[in-house]
Amino acid sequence: MREILLDTPRGRLAALRHGPAGAPPVLALHGWLDNAASFLPLLPHLPDIDLVALDLPGHGHSYHRPPGAEYGLIDYLLDIDAAFDALGWARGRLLGHSLGGALATLYAAAAPERVERLALIEALGPLAGTPGGALSRLREALLQRRGPVGRSLRVFPDPAAAVRARMQANGLSEPAARLLVERGIAPVEGGFVWRSDPRLRLTSALRADEGTVREWLAGVECPVRLIAAAQSPPYFGAELRQARLACLRDGSAVVLPGGHHLHMETPAPVARELAAFLAG
């Protein structure tokens, strides 16, 4: 595993790269407030691919959006496009977890000529808006942006305190939380703060309805492999998964024991379901 930097017209993207040159190229996209270290536990089990685990903008060591900019879906898709260009990949495969899986799904639909295979962990398309919630979401989003964002970041006295906070927030084991924290904190006077952009926590003003999400899914042309956790969060339950899976032209899914970060907590069975698919 080696650290790489990708200079793009949008900003500098950081990533971790592992695998033999000439192997099938795979761009890995992590979840919300995670970073590229999310995929470290999988690496020993995926030897036959050229894996580039990206820090999404606003996360890890990648650039933060300029003042006044947003972390919208289309902006992330442009970053994925830029990463492909910077890597010199005309085509490749995508591996995404949670938010990264939602973005990977949308990119596969928007740029089918660039995506050969799509592997997803705990995601199949983005979160949809809930009926009756659009007005309150819009008002909350505007209200949040009227005031200062992230002026007083929480300072942890040492990395161990940040690890404990991450374990409590996500129910992660200590080793999994430590991997994310080691890449996700920066030293400041008096301790450490999260590297992630505080604007990532702002409410998005708009969400697509479920019908629109399913139209996007129907536009995915490549084969799709979905790994779902038996203890999935409520917003990604079995009924929704099956309905969305039915929209795909070529999709398959498997449910494995574990929670939302099962690729970090139990990487071997997850990799067994993905290795042959990604290597192709």
Q: Could you tell me which of 78, 20, 73 has the C-alpha nearest to residue 49? A: 20
The residue from 98, 173, 204, 252 that is catalytic is: 98
For 19: left if phi > 0, alpha if psi spans -120 to 50, otherwise beta; the answer is left
Contacts of 278 (CB under 8 A, 6+ apart): 24, 26, 46, 49, 93, 95, 117, 119
Dist CA 233 CA 91 (whole Å): 32
Query: What's phi and psi for 108, nearest 5 deg?
Result: -60, -35
CATH topology of domain 2-126+205-279: Rossmann fold (3.40.50)
Cβ atoms of 75 and 55 closer than 8 Å: no
98 is catalytic: yes
pLDDT of residue 192 exceeding 70: yes
For 225: left if phi > 0, alpha if psi spans -120 to 50, otherwise beta; the answer is beta
Instruction: Write the pLDDT tens digit of every residue in 11-43.
Output: 999 999 999 989 999 999 999 999 999 999 999
Q: How do the domains of the chain map onto residue ranges? A: 2-126+205-279
pTM of the model: 0.97
Instruction: Write the pLDDT tens digit of every residue in 144-172.
Output: 999 777 667 899 999 999 999 999 999 99
CB atoms closer than 10 angstroms to residue 259: 17
